[in-house]
Amino acid sequence: MKRVVTLLVGTCLCFSVATVAVAQNNGGISTPPKVLVINREVLKPGKGGAPHQKTESAFVRAMAAAKDTTYYLGMDSLSGPSRALFFTGYDSFADWEKDAMTTQNNATLSAALDRAEVADGDLLQSYETSAFVLRDDLSLNAATDLAHDRYFEIGVFHVKPGHDEDWSAIMKLVKDAYSKIPEVRWAMYQRAYGGSEGYFIYITPLKSAAEIDRNFANGPKFVEAIGKEGMQKLNELMSASVDQAEINLFALNPAISYVGPEMIKADPTFWKAAPTGEPRKKAEKAAQ
């Protein structure tokens, strides 16, 4: 379980899915949605990059043409299998239902999305959807300047059945220690639908790769803050209660994201980047 503990210490355990485009925005700072829906696409070999951006741009154009205000972020994996993730945030499950019904009742939009799904499906090995709920009690300073984030570290922990109290104790230790270290923030989410129980995810928003180095440099500071006894307790709890941990790096891709005018205005050079194979003018029109 040494690697599991290293994930907690070596990264800043930040899951600012304040990183979701539909999260509330105040002065450029985004706060995390209560419900996070993640669509995961695993791509066939050789079907990433330009081919995938081309099929995904059809979704963006369809949403823009319908003037849909449910925005989402798309990102590509830089580690692990070739895949793309799409984040959409809601205030509640009722809002998720409302969004689905609105799309269903818009025949033009539904037809356009169906055509895009057929084309996109030819590139995929698998596709899945999961829904997560925000755990405020396991979060710390969960906010980020989303418009200027470029990468996400995304980690997954699986807690063994019957060990929820151990996980809460782990997160209390981690929060208490990291609260003493500047520039550390996270939001923690728990999976509600889409697979077996006991899964928690975190995402670290990064404005550049240099922040990865900074986050790992926080490791010794964390060990000092938690103390020898606290570190021993953390190791014991992790070994007893967590049986899976994985961390990967993703890059935000504006060409497969559908974001609102405030995001574009905050950093137009990045967010108006044209999808591969599409004229820039057309891409800008789709983003409006």
Q: How confident is the model at residue 255 (pLDDT cuts 50, 70, 90)?
A: very high
| Across 165-181, average pLDDT | 94
Which pLDDT tens digit goes with each residue over 229-241? 999 999 999 999 9
- CB environment 244-273: b (16+ within 10 A), e (fewer): ebebbbbebbbbbbbbbeebbebbeeebbb
Q: How confident is the model at residue 273 (pLDDT cuts 50, 70, 90)?
A: low
- Strand ranges for the chain from DSSP E: 25-26, 29-30, 35-43, 73-77, 83-90, 124-140, 151-159, 186-193, 199-206, 242-252
Query: pLDDT tens digits for 122-139?
Result: 999 999 999 999 999 998
Given a cut of 70, is residue 262 above it in pLDDT?
Answer: yes
* Structural domains in the chain, sorted by start: 2-275 (3.30.70.100)
Bridge-based pairing of strands 199-206 and 186-193 is antiparallel
pLDDT at 12 over 90: no
Q: Given pLDDT bands bounded at 50, 70 and 90, which one contains residue 277?
A: very low
Residue 276 has pLDDT above 60, yes or no: no
pLDDT bucket at 187, cuts 50 / 70 / 90: confident
The model carries a pTM of 0.85
Return d(Cα 33, Cα 203) in angstroms, integer: 13
In terms of Cα–Cα distance, which of 207, 204, 230 is closest to 216?
A: 204
